[in-house]
Amino acid sequence: MSSSFFIKKADYPKTAKKGKNTPVAKRKNDGDSGDKSKGKAKKLNSKYNEEISSDSETESSGVSKKRQSNAEIEYDETPQEKKLRLAKVYLDQLKDEEENKAEEESFETDLIAGRLQEEVLEQRGKLQRFIAKDLIPPDASEIRVLRGHKLPITCLVVSPDDKCIFSASKDCSIIKWDVESGKKLHTMAGGRKGTEDRHVGHTTHILCMSISSDGKYLASGDMNKLILIWEAETCKHLYKFTGHKGPVSGLSFRKGSHDLYSCSHDRSVKVWNVDENAYVETLFGHQDAITGLDCLSRERCVTAGGRDRTVRVWKIAEESQLVFHGHEGSIDCIQLINEEHMITGADDGSVSLWSVNKKKPLSTVKRAHGCHGDAGLEQPHWVAAVAALQNSDTVASGASGCSHNSKVQLWKCGQYYRGLEPLFSVPVSGFVNSLKFSSSGQFLVAGVGQEHRLGRWWRLKEAKNGIYIIPLKRKPQEEEAKLAE
């Protein structure tokens, strides 16, 4: 259609112009009746009708030329041109996709790089998240207390997903609690001495517990030198480890594995493999009963040596140990903050912050929980429990002493762990025998009893045995913005 239009345009005579149709009309009405003249008129008439249009026809043809010209641009392309055009479109699409993909990969790379950097800092013990500055004291009404044990709570652990708490007591039982509802999920009941053969649970005071980082295994140790292994999900009893010659006072699973470290009043540290239900080795070095133990992901653990007044770092693979001195009294509790720093508490009332690279504490707060007694005979409150929010600047300590002055104290670690500053305290009633932060840092759990977990030197009748769930509240964002300004 378009090709014929352009062919006709090419055959137009140069003299054919708009308004030259008058002579054609005259010739058309010519009165000559001769055959030759009629034939000639017909030929002329035919010629001019074919080649010359009226004004209206010329105008419409101009519009039609534009339309057909557009049609030529739209449709009149060779197969090669079409292929080229489609190829360009396809290349543009590929370019856009590659740019989007590159942006996504760059974002993912940045995230991965950030995580890797955090992991490297964590492994080196240099990761310190600054959380303490945002914490504010909770209202008394926001602190929940769970009661279920008949005798003092001695130890507790929080599951890795923060959904459950396991608490143990001098009543020989272990209770699994639901954090959200505060209800008991399961009780691993204890029994009386002499019923070990007929009873799967403990038959004496439980002193320590640990849960594996994947939440699969729970380990508990007691005064009767035994370590029991449980399936954390179902609370089913799995194994019994024997070998210690004194009460088992500390347990800790190595992070990312099922290797278990234990310590005892027999002054030894033992290594076990729970998957294989196997004993691995024994380490010696402390000169008195070991009172506490902790470990993270490295193949090593740290211990508190009680009245030998030493803290030790055990390098398992190298079969060596580092010895640290600093407290003036019995060191009764210890916790790693990260791979390079730890916190300890002692019966001289002090709390100390350590680096594994220095033999003396980086910082010590004496009489961290105040004193009790008459003037001139004042004695500091015994620090019986410490806890650390891993890889952060926030730690906590719990004191034992008078029921009217017992409390959980939160502390802020200075930059590079060079100091300890008090944040706020939470009053409780009784001996604070165990402290644990949740993995998320949303709450702190305290195990409180009428007696100290390691003995019965004195008893607080006014106190009640219970588990305190303390929320770690943050400052509102508006308040943070004002402080920043």
User: What share of the chain in percent tops pLDDT 70?
Assistant: 75
- Rounded CA gap, 358 and 106, in Å? 41
For the chain, the residue count is: 485
Q: Regarding predicted confidence, which is higher, 72 or 430?
A: 430
What ranges do the domains of the chain cover? 2-75, 81-124, 132-484
Q: Regarding predicted confidence, which is higher, 10 or 98?
A: 98
pTM: 0.73
Structure letter (DSSP) for residue 392: B
The pLDDT value given to residue 232: 96
Lowest mean pLDDT among 58-67, 114-123, 140-149: 58-67
* Chain centroid to CA 299: 23
Does residue 138 surpass a pLDDT of 90?
A: yes
- Rounded CA gap, 205 and 208, in Å? 10
- Domain 132-484 CATH (choose: 3.40.30.10, 3.40.50.2300, 3.40.50.720, 2.130.10.10): 2.130.10.10
The helix (run of H) or strand (run of E) holding residue 96 is helix 79-124
* Chain centroid to CA 353: 25
Q: What are the C-alpha distances in Å from 118 to residues 7, 255, 337?
A: 77, 16, 15
The pLDDT value given to residue 24: 41
Residue carrying structure tokens 């033992």: 270
Q: Regarding predicted confidence, which is higher, 59 or 381?
A: 381
The pLDDT value given to residue 382: 86
Residues 61-112 have pLDDT tens digits of: 444 444 454 444 455 678 888 888 888 888 888 888 888 887 777 766 666 6
DSSP assignments along 143-200, one per residue: -EEE---SS-EEEEEE-TTSSEEEEEETTS-EEEEETTT--EEEEE----TT-GGG-S
Q: Per-residue confidence at 461, pLDDT binned at 50, 70, 90?
A: confident
Q: Regarding predicted confidence, which is higher, 60 or 381?
A: 381
The pLDDT value given to residue 383: 92
- Rounded CA gap, 445 and 179, in Å? 10
Does residue 23 surpass a pLDDT of 70?
A: no
Lowest mean pLDDT among 234-243, 335-344, 366-375: 366-375
Sequence-distant (≥ 6) Cβ neighbours of residue 224 within 8 angstroms: 193, 196, 202, 203, 204, 247
Residues 175-231 have pLDDT tens digits of: 999 999 999 999 998 887 777 677 789 999 999 999 999 999 999 999 999 999 999
Q: Quick one: tokens of 8?
A: 């006709």
Phi-psi region of 310 (alpha: psi -120 to 50; beta: other; left: phi over 0): beta
* Chain centroid to CA 193: 43
Q: DSSP alpha helices (H): ranges in 351-428?
A: none
- Rounded CA gap, 315 and 293, in Å? 14
Residues 221-264 have pLDDT tens digits of: 999 999 999 999 999 999 999 999 999 999 999 999 999 999 99
The pLDDT value given to residue 439: 94
Lowest mean pLDDT among 36-45, 148-157, 268-277: 36-45
The pLDDT value given to residue 107: 67
